[in-house]
Amino acid sequence: MRARVFFPLVLILALAIISYALMPLYIKKPISGQNYTHSKIGLYLDGKNLNNIIKYDKTKFAISLAPGTASPQTGPRFIAKSKSDGSEGVIFNLPASLVAELAQKPAHAIILNYQPIGTAPAGFVKFTFVDDKNNAQSFDVTNPKGNKISRFSFVGERKIIKQIVINPALEGEDHGIELMSVVIEN
């Protein structure tokens, strides 16, 4: 009789532990007033939070901010109005509270979840990360197709990231992406 109760309980407990471990971005409740949440692997900004920190040149990019969560669009979309020389892009200035938290435990990598969009989806996208000392590190992604998750690791020491710059306009106009989320691994 004891075995009939014990082993099913052990099985249920084991399944609960395994399912918890397999949740890739287990999100805790955000602290009031924050523009980000904590996940198992770092600091997480979703499309709604990204809307609040975006800055761009209206003559160079057409931007569609993410509406509420009921929409299929989950993050800000930006499409180039003209070809870029590589110097400009769409800028995401991270909130001061997030930068202060990164000062305590700097980032060693950033994960971006995005997808190409537009009449000519971006085949070449430049991602630039600027740290608190205004040092920039850029990564080029060619031929992103479909929903893409890219992990960018920093060479050398960990960084206190304060800004993310994304430029999908290197090929010309009508190239764009939708940025759905950012995870800063620290």
Helix or strand holding residue 42 (H, E): strand 42-46
Instruction: Spell out the residues 6+ positions from residue 133 whose beta carbon is closer than 8 angstroms to its own.
Output: none
- What are the residue ranges spanned by the domains of the chain? 2-185
CA distances, 46 to each of 55, 73, 107 (Å): 16, 12, 18
| Residue 159 pLDDT > 70 | yes
Query: Quick one: what percent of the chain has pLDDT higher than 70?
Result: 72
Note the pLDDT tens digit of each residue in 54-97: 787 777 777 777 665 445 557 777 777 777 666 677 888 888 88
How does residue 31 score in pLDDT terms, banded at 50, 70 and 90? Answer: very low
Spatial separation of the C-alpha atoms in residues 153 and 129, rounded to whole Å: 11
Query: For the domain bounded by 2-185, which CATH number is listed?
Result: 2.60.120.260
Give strand pairing partners of 65.
none
In angstroms, the CA 63 to CA 51 distance is 10
CA distance 135 to 158: 12
Closest residue by Cα to residue 159 from 89, 99, 72: 99
Average pLDDT estimate for 128-144? 81
| Closest CA relative to residue 169, chosen from 53, 69, 88, 65 | 88
Question: Among residues 96, 61, 91, which one has the least CA distance to residue 169?
Answer: 61
Locate 96 and state its tokens: 């001061």
- Between CA 117 and CA 107 the distance in angstroms is 29
- Specify which of 10-24, 64-78, 123-137 reaches the highest per-range mean pLDDT: 123-137
